[in-house]
Structure 1
Amino acid sequence: MGGISWPQILIILAIVVLLFGTKRLRNIGSDLGSAVKGFKKSMAEDDKQQHQQADAELTDDSSKTTEQQGSKQADKQDR
């Protein structure tokens, strides 16, 4: 009873088409599609940058660990 049925949805769509026209609806649809595409692209680029930063941090951490281990071994050999 409280839900929207298919005939009601079709009537709403018909009213929207009459109000805006098909050309305007196509333009709105293409603009919306372009916006979604741009959003997905920027999200993918952001993820890529985060992965690159994480990889760089891991590389820096591993090189520091290697340097620390090397200095500890040198200290042991000096004793």
Structure 2
Amino acid sequence: MANISVWQLLIIAVIVILLFGTKKLSRFGEDLGTSVKGFKRAIEDKSNGKP
């Protein structure tokens, strides 16, 4: 497995921001957070016996 340095991650982050823009990335992050919260709720409901 290749070791990735901090500089390489920084360069990748800059390229991603340039390609997609900050607004689209913030919307993506918000959507991802909402999805994770929904998934966690579904897991909790299922483990508590709720259909």
Tell me, yes or no, whether TM beats 0.5: yes
Greater relative contact order (Cα < 8 A, sep 6+): 2
The code of the aligned residue for 2:46 comes to D
Q: What's the C-alpha RMSD, in Å, of the aligned pairs?
A: 1.1
Gaps of 5+ in 2: none
**How many residues are aligned here?**
49
Is 1:33 the counterpart of 2:51? The answer is: no
Moved over 4 A (4+): none
Structure with max Cα Rg: 1
What fraction of aligned residue pairs are identical, expressed as a percent?
A: 49
Alignment of 1:1-79 (within 5 A): 2-49=2-49
Higher helix share: 1
Q: Tell me by how many angstroms 1:40 deviates.
A: 0.1
What TM-score comes out, normalization by structure 1 length? 0.60
Q: Tell me by how many angstroms 1:46 deviates.
A: 0.2
What TM-score comes out, normalization by structure 2 length? 0.91
Gaps of 5+ in 1: 51-79
